[in-house]
């Protein structure tokens, strides 16, 4: 069975690779043969994933379940999407439903720069979906209006009605800003560029301007696209006289590119920035983020769901009370709760180790109890202070735009 599992696991990667290539050719050419090829290989990947779900390690089942869901979404899209065949000799189409494949958009780009850009692209099969994120309903609705609707229904945004081009997600760390951005990209089948602003001004200092310009160019070619600038405050802070020239040039380039998106209203390229310190962002950048959405700490229902999500596939004792866990975790971020769960789930494993039975394959850990979670709470404290929360609330009251 182990060999069969490994064989199917390897098949998933290969089938998805072939399916994606066929899908991109279908988007480019409208070829019915490429569409059928993509459907065939996505179905093959789905069958392999279903085998791994049924026969693989319990701890990986949730990941395979999500992958199967994403493949189903892509198959549904292929079933309903209609792309007219491009006339012979016509140039590649741009815009929703007619993107240039990524490899074609990167033709002629120097190898090192090409490699950097390719690493920023998150494949649609590896994103999360909005319904997989606990809570944050107001932020989800605002993102759907600002990002998803213009990408999936560009025909509705004509004339004076045009999409938002800059969206800022702000709030305490660990509350799901990056997940929200990936989810809206996954739901709208947009190409997702995950760019670390901190790396642009540190690791790639001096090359950052060139990288940023090329990412925006490629994003226009493969649109619909979302450019996600994580830790955007690293490059968008209020200017000061001691600032490095390269950082000042980077700021200028990013503001020019974002302004260019507003002047090209038909382009389906949206910039989403994320920050834990919105009050440090320069006012010129703030204006370019037309939508500013507060992503707060999870409420009680969201915390309960986060506990449920992070304990899936593990045997729990009947004493575990998710409502009580949600109550006890008030003030915890989603990331904090995941750490609490990991700590609690490890306690039965540690007991096996302390009993000298950890290497015995027949030794199974006992179910996780409510007591284990209480012990975890004693070790894991909230990472966000009341002062930080109050600062976010004040900034939201002054600058939020949903």
The predicted pLDDT at position 252 comes to 82
pLDDT at 92 (0 to 100): 42
Intervals of the chain under pLDDT 70: 1-2, 28, 59, 80-100, 123-128, 202-206, 239-244, 246, 262-266, 402
CB 347 within 8 A of CB 373: no
Domain coverage including residue 61 = 2-80
On whether both 126 and 258 belong to a single domain, the answer is yes
Residue 255 shares a structural domain with residue 202: yes
The span from the CA of 101 to the CA of 84, in Å, is 17
In this structure, the answer to whether residues 128 and 176 fall within a common structural domain is yes
What are the residues facing 170 on neighbouring strands? 275, 294
Of the three residues 296, 311, 344, the one that is the final residue of a domain is: 296
Task: Mark whether 211 and 65 lie in a shared domain.
Answer: no
**Count of structural domains, the chain:** 3
Determine, yes or no, domain membership for 402.
no
- Do 234 and 115 lie in one domain? The reply is yes
201 and 292 belong to one structural domain: yes
What do you get for the CA distance between the two ends of the chain, in Å? 52
pLDDT by residue (tens digit) across 179-231?
888 888 777 777 888 888 877 776 655 677 788 888 888 888 888 888 999 88
CATH number at residue 37: 1.20.58
* Strand pairing category for 121-122 and 191-196: antiparallel
Same domain membership, residue 165 and residue 128 = yes
Please give the share of the chain, as a percent, with pLDDT higher than 70. 87
67 shares a domain with 32 = yes
Kindly state whether residues 167 and 308 are assigned to the same domain.
no
Q: Are residues 197 and 74 in the same domain?
A: no
Does residue 371 lie within any of the structural domains? Answer: yes
* pTM confidence score: 0.71
Position 259 scores a pLDDT of: 81
Rounded Cα–Cα distance for residues 126 and 164 (Å): 25
Q: How far apart are CA 303 and CA 336, in angstroms?
A: 10
86 occurs within a structural domain: no
Q: How far apart are CA 42 and CA 8, in angstroms?
A: 14
Beta-carbon contacts of residue 192 (< 8 Å; ≥ 6 apart): 121, 122, 124, 127, 181, 182, 185, 186, 225, 226, 228
From 242, 273, 296, the end of a domain falls on: 296
Give the residue from 296, 325, 345 where a domain finishes.
296
> CB–CB of 222/122 below 8 Å?
no
């Amino acid at each position: 069975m182990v060999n069969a599992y490994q064989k199917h696991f390897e098949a998933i990667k290969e089938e998805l690779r072939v399916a994606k290539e066929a899908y991109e050719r279908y988007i480019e050419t409208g070829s019915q043969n490429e569409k059928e090829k993509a459907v065939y290989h996505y179905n093959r990947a789905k069958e392999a994933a279903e085998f791994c779900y049924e026969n693989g390690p319990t701890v990986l089942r949730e990941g395979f379940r999500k992958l199967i869901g994403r493949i189903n979404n892509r198959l549904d899209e292929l079933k309903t999407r209609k792309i007219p065949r491009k006339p012979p000799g016509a140039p590649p189409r741009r815009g929703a439903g007619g993107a240039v494949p990524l490899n074609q958009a990167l033709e002629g780009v120097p190898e090192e720069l090409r490699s950097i850009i390719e690493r920023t692209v998150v494949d649609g099969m590896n994103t999360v979906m909005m319904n997989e994120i606990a809570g944050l309903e107001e932020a989800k609705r605002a993102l759907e209006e600002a990002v998803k609707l213009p990408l999936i229904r560009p025909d509705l945004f004509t004339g004076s009605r045009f999409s938002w081009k800059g969206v800022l997600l702000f709030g305490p760390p660990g509350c799901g800003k990056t997940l929200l951005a990936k989810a809206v990209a996954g739901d709208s089948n947009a190409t997702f560029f995950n760019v670390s602003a901190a790396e642009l001004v540190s690791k790639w200092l001096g090359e950052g301007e060139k990288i940023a310009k090329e990412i925006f160019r490629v994003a226009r070619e493969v649109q619909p696209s979302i450019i996600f600038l994580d830790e955007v405050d690293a490059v968008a802070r209020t200017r000061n006289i001691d600032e490095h020239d390269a950082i000042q040039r980077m700021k200028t380039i990013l503001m020019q590119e974002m302004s260019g998106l507003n002047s090209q209203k038909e382009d389906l390229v949206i910039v989403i920035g994320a920050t834990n310190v919105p009050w440090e962002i320069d006012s010129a950048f703030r204006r370019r983020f037309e939508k500013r959405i507060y992503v707060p700490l999870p409420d009680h229902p969201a915390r309960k769901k986060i506990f449920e999500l992070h304990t899936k596939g593990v045997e729990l004792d009947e004493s575990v009370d998710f409502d009580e866990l949600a109550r006890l975790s008030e003030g915890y971020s989603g990331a904090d709760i995941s750490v609490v769960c990991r700590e609690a789930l490890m306690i039965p494993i540690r007991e096996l180790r302390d009993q000298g039975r950890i290497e015995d394959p027949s030794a199974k850990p006992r179910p996780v109890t409510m007591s284990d979670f209480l012990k975890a709470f004693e070790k894991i404290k909230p990472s966000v202070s009341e002062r930080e929360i109050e600062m976010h609330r004040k900034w939201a009251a002054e600058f939020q735009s949903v």
